[in-house]
Structure 1
Amino acid sequence: MKSCVVIFSGGQDSTTCLFWAKERFDRVEAISFDYKQRHSLELECAADICKKYDVKHTILDMELLNQLAPNSLTREDMEVDEKAPEEGVPNTFVEGRNLLFLTFGAIYAKTNGIKHIVTGVSQSDYSGYPDCRDVFIKSTNVTLNLAMDYEFVIHTPLMWIDKMETWKLADELGVLDVIKNETLTCYNGVIGDGCGKCPACELRRKGYEEYMEIKQ
C-alpha cells in the first residue's frame, strides 16, 4: 500500500496538496505543527478538514521554534510586513521552519512506515522565503535520506505553479469551494477570504480573481 504524510497547516496550499495526495496514495496522513503562531486558528482548521475528509491528523508541539525565531507570525507586538523589503526577507519568515517541519515529518514518516512526504512550498510564489526553493527541497531530501538511511521522496506539487494555477488545480481536484471556504491562509487568523489586508490574503485573492477570469 502506497502511503504518504502531508505537511499540513490547514491553509490553501497544504489543503490543495492534501487532496492531491488523496488521489495518488492509498493511505494519507497529515502532520501539523503548533509553534504558537499568530494565526493559530489554522490548527483548528487543519483538524476540522482532516476529520471531515477522513485523514489521520497529528499535531506536534514546536514551541521552541517560537522562542528561537522571533518574527511577526509569532510576536503580536510586531506588525506584518505589507511587502518584501528591498534587502533580506519579510518579517513573516520563520527561520528554519520548513527545515524543521520536513525533519520532524520525516521522523514521523519513518516510524510509521511511510516513505513519501508532501509539502506545499512553491518557488513561483515563495515571497522571498529561501526554504521554499526547489534547491532547498532537493538538498533536504538527500540529507534526510542519508541521516536516517531511508528512501524518502519529498513531493512538491505546487513548486512551479503560482496562486492562480493553484486555484486551477483545486478546481480540477473538485475542491475549489473547500479551499475557498474552509482553509485559513490569513496571517491575522481569518478563515476563508481572510482579512483582505495581509500579504497572504492579497496573494490568495489575486490568484483567485485571475483564475475566475480565465475560467469564465
Structure 2
Amino acid sequence: MKKEKAVVVFSGGQDSTTCLFWALKNFSEVATVTFDYGQRHSAEIECARKIAEELGVSFKVLDMTLINQLSANALTRDDIEVTAKEGELPSTFVPGRNHLFFSFAAVYADAIGARHLVTGVSQTDFSGYPDCRDTFIRSLNVTLNLAMDKQFIIHTPLMWLDKSEVWELADELDALDFVQDKTLTCYNGVPSTGCGECPACVLRNEGLAVYKARKSAGEPV
C-alpha cells in the first residue's frame, strides 16, 4: 500500500485524526476531504484545516449543506438538544450523511488518482449510527465500485476498536499527545478534552482514562 495514494474522510476529531496518522504510515501520498454540512460549529472545519496544514497533507472542503434541506438534527440545529436515549437513534444522527460523504469522497479520490478511502467509523463504538457499521461499509464499497467502474478500497482501521483501543492506536502511531491536544470531538465545539458532558466527550474521555490506567498498570495494551 505504501506507494499508493489515499483520501482520508476527515473531520478533525479524534477518530479521523488517528486515521490520518494511520494513512500517513501506510500510504506514500495522503489527501484529506472535509464536509461542510452546516454543522453548528464551524470550528470543526477550521480544526481539520489546521491539522492538515501541520501534517503537510492536502485539504479539500466540499459543500454538503443541502442535507439540511432534508432533515433536522442536533448536529446542525442548535435548537435541538443532544440526546442519546436507549433504543432510539441519537438526536445527533444525520440520515444519509456517511452514505453521501463517502460517495463524494470517492468522486474526489477518482479525480486525484486515489483508489484508497480511509474512514474512522467504528461498529464497536458506533453510538447507534447505522451508517458506521461494517455491513454498510462493505456494501457501499461494492456499490461505489459498480457505480464508477473502479476498484476502490475503503479502509476502516477503527472498525472493531473501542475508544480505549483507539487511544492505544494513536499511541502506537506516536500521535497520542497530538490527538489529545489538537482535535475537536465535542458536540459543543470545545477542542481537546471538550466540554466533558456531551456524549462524544464522555466516550472520548472515558476511553482515554481506561487506556491510561491499563498502560500505567503495565497491563497488555
1:9 to 2, 11, 20: 11
Distance 2:50 2:41 in 1: 15
Which residue of the partner structure matches residue 110 of structure 2?
110
**Aligned residue identity for 2:187:** Y
Aligned residues: 214
CA contact (8 A) 1:37 1:66 kept: no
Q: Which residue of 1 aligns with 2:85?
A: 85
CA drift of 1:69 comes to: 1.9
1:135-180 deviation per Cα after TM superposition (whole angstroms, max 9, x unaligned): 0000000000000000000000000000000000000000101100
Counterpart code for 1:154: I
Structure 1 residue 189 and structure 2 residue 189: aligned?
Answer: yes
TM-score using structure 1 length? 0.98
- Tell me, yes or no, if structure 1 residue 55 matches structure 2 residue 61: no
Q: TM-score, normalised by structure 2?
A: 0.95
- Per the alignment, residue 123 of structure 1 pairs with 123
1:22 aligns to 2:24 (yes or no): yes
Describe the SS at the equivalent of 1:23.
Answer: helix
Q: Does 1:68 align with 2:67?
A: no
Which residue of the partner structure matches residue 155 of structure 1? 155
Percent identity at matched positions? 60
- Aligned partner of 1:132 in structure 2 is 132
Which consecutive residues of structure 1, in runs of 5 or more, have no partner in the other structure? none
RMSD over aligned Cα atoms: 0.7
Structure 2: gaps of 5 or more residues: 217-221
| Alignment partners' CA distance in 2, 1:69 and 1:107 | 24
